[in-house]
Structure 1
């Protein structure tokens, strides 16, 4: 939504500042719902231009432009498509993989040069399509196969894939902890949507409903209003134009060279010059989001991390671990330690759940699992993290885990206790 800085090289060559994103994942992972919520709750309400369409219902004419004969004057008229209507805004495309090859080729120019050339029925012109593209697609066969590369999992050619700055692979992975949290959220959502007092005779029902609403109510102290977000976006786009330092450009150059070397060995998404431009755009967008006129090391590190995560997720499962080890210095930064430790702790909890399942043959009676603090410390030391005190006192840790310093274990409850 913030985007990078648009550039015009010597008035001859224009470089886009908008960021394109592709979501690819298993059915039922809320890709379409994400696009709808992004469209209805954020893009539209913050005053930006937004067009929502689907690959099934969008032909080449519907996305780019159409030439029609006016029924009254009998003259040929030009009509803009979804990308033209979303000029200086965002175009959201669902079921992106359902478009035929001719339709996809027609938006190559629109996604990179952000213009659409028309030469039909004697009309020769060029239309502006300066917009970000956020698209969602389903993998071939319905499920994402981790033994194959990204290109082998989606019916899209490499030229169109390379035009996306960020590739997000969304997999429906069986995770006892995450599944439990998701199930509780869905049940609470349905619970809260019921009419209040629908069963007034059942006092326990009313009390439990109020308790569920209170527990699911977010902390409003850190949530921006739509009006403030709209003003913030407008101010950032009109007044903030971040500039790079030479040392940051040298860092991006080194990362790009390393990525090129790794991509030549593997069979994932090929790394091209567009990817270094993607890192520049994301660095500028992150700086603009913080209202900074200069790109800092934090902005560059964030852009590198996003691109690396995008690149690694497109590789086969067998080579992902080796790539993460090779680029570990770029993926993990000091500000991400809490998030990294949460991921490591979740892996240990999952391993403990699987171990108990193997021993007893079922997890139906399992109410909690304990993880040794020493195991988490050993995992953390692999990433050069030695002090866990700040992590143990963080709100993210305390929301889901209990620390027993006497027994030197971390407890995670799998079943929520019901009040009598």
Structure 2
């Protein structure tokens, strides 16, 4: 675990490069699968499920009996934990509801905006080495609050053709309407085009591996919206000598165990603190059941020594981390000045895992630097805004001439005439 000391700004891009394959490396595979599923529907889904997931399925939709049986397999303490997390996520996302915005911009010109739920949404839930039932909470609960009519969930089956019981229990708890045993590229393609078994949706949500990420981006070519291009998980911790090295090491490892392509970064202004964290990582990693995965991810880790908080902040904003933990003598400096981050965790007693599960914020967040222009999933992600306007006689008098002048200046006479006719009709009626 090497420490990079005082890297120059010109080296940041190479230093902070994510350990992911490029879009072009994966795109050909994704396009091939998409074309096959568009043409052959369920038959192609059967083929790719056998190829990629190693199981032969003839039916993909989870039955009501499977859902009910799954509920019996989830132990009661876990059910209670899921329910508490659901309540916190519900409370936080319900608070994001906004009232209708209505303004009379001129006398007689009334404009307003209201939000409507996206009717059909698709949720992708990773299920490979770690079945993420927590992601069901993060996506299905706000979809339900928003009022989405059809909530379709896809998650890969195991080698026995089954789905983790906790995923099914949580999906039922959060009001998912249909559940399918489908993973990877084929799941995204199925929700993009629709097949005999799987309904087409309007917007697809959820994290996944690099193939899922590219598949979501390809789906946008077919008039499907996506939440964001969310790929392998990442965490950046900003800590100084006042932080707890044991805590920081555990935070870095909590992301490293997600997957081999996860990336964790420690930025600090204190070299001895970095060394203490490295020692803690070496100690703690031995105790992890997912040690082999974490070790490979740690190979992609960076330990960066910066001269001061100001240059550290510049580097962090440049990186735009998915998760950003702050544990310093002056946390407020980073809280007030950070521009690019998916979700921020403040102070030594705020582990990133709290946000992953139960604090209430959403853990579906922009990765790979997309925090510079994307937000994490929130209630608005499941809604779209519609604007309305109503103009009466006074409104025609207020803005009629303005519309005519602007339309004429742009050479759009029909636009002008649409207003002139109304103005003349009002004069005639008087």
TM-score between the two structures when normalised by the length of structure 2? 0.24
Q: Which has the higher contact order (CA 8 A, sep 6+)?
A: 2
